[in-house]
Amino acid sequence: MKRNNFLERLIGEFLFLFLLIPQQIQAQTDTVKTNRYIMRTMMYGIGTSNIYDSYLSPQNYKGIDFRISREAMRFTKRGKGKVSSQNFLQANFSYTHNRANNNNTISGLINWNYGYHHQFPISENFKLLAGGLLDMNGGFVYNLQNTNNPASARAFINMDVSGMAIWHFKIKQYSFVLRYQLNIPVIGIMFSPQYDESYYEIFTLGNTSNIIKLTSPYNQPSLRQMLSLDAPIGHSRIRFSYLADMEQSRINNIKTHTYSHVFMVGIVRSLYLIHSKRGKPLPPSLRVY
């Protein structure tokens, strides 16, 4: 009963977030050109990973995680210029070992997030962002010793709620940006074989019953959070990030988790898009070729 009440409250909060935000949007400042500024970052990272998949083994596998990400943020014309979009693509590869250090798994995941945040300026230098993201994932975990259950496929799509806090500050004459972002899946679908079902039965014999399941924080309590600092170094703006990627699921009596803690670094670029109308060439002063 407690869980039902909690879920009702959760769903209520979710609807409130997505249905009432547009009504709260009030008069905006001129946004004609703000949607042409893009913040784009390419980052490379290394960290640790802890992988558990009861379909493959009852043991936790721990090891190294390599990651690459690409992010683009820009204002949109939605919500009278108060809504920004975020396009975040990351791919990781992990090489992990069991406790006895006599077996390894390799795993990989490609994750793409796209969505919108409504921006709430608290002060000139500090703002909160809240919104939703489409969160698509595809990957695998491969156990190097197993026979008929050597690998576990990862395929899931979620709708995430997402919050962000961005703080611009200065130390002496140098300006920095500190950001924290939290993404939490609230509803989605996930592929999973049944408890001890072989991939032979699914893909060769075609038994696909119950392999796509609805997910929620109850059976897929996961989160991704990132803390980043943009610092001016020379003429560039360098981003240092800590990413905590905590994916968990309990589907078809199969339990999985992937806990990754990754430190990433990359260059932040701010771009301004120039659109030429109807294919008309840009003025000579703006053309690079």
Partner 1 sequence: MGYRKLNKKQKTMSLSSYNIMKNKIILLLLIISNLTIQSCIDGEQYDNTPQGNFEQLWTTIDEHYCFFDYKNINWDSIHTVFSQKIETSMSNKDLFEVLSDMLYTLKDGHVNLISSYQCSYYDAWYQDYPHNFDEDIVNDDYLGKASTDYYTTSGIKYKIFDDNIGYMRYESFANDVGNGNLDEILEYLAICNGLIIDVRDNSGGTITNATKIAQRFTNEKLLIGYIEHKTGTGHNNFSSPTAINLKPSNSVRWQKKVVVLTNRRCFSATNYFVNTMRYLANVTILGDTTGGGSGLPFSSELPNGWTVRFSSSPILDADKNQIEFGIEPDIKIDLSTGDTMNHLDTMIETARKLLNK
Considering only 136, 207, 242, 267, the residue that binds partner 1 (CB under 8 A) is 207
Which of 53, 70, 66, 60 is CA-nearest to residue 112? Answer: 70
**Strand-pair partners of 199:** none
Residue 128 contacts partner 1 per CB under 8 A: yes
- 149/152 Cα distance (integer angstroms): 8
Residue 241 contacts partner 1 per CB under 8 A: no
Q: Give the CA radius of gyration of the chain.
A: 22
Supply 7's token pair: 């879920």
Site string for partner 1, 2-41 (x = CB under 8 A): -------xx--xx-xx--xx--x-xx--------------
- Closest to partner 1 by CB, 135 vs 268, is 135
- Closest to partner 1 by CB, 120 vs 242, is 120
Cα–Cα distances in angstroms (integers) from residue 137 to residues 9, 26, 228, 284, in the given order: 27, 36, 23, 44
Size of the site for partner 1 (CB under 8 A): 60
- 269/80 Cα distance (integer angstroms): 25
Footprint of partner 1 (CB under 8 A): 9-10, 13-14, 16-17, 20-21, 24, 26-27, 52, 54, 57-60, 98-103, 120, 128, 130, 143, 145-149, 161, 163, 182, 184, 186, 194-198, 200-201, 204-205, 207, 217, 221-223, 246, 248-250, 252-253, 255-257
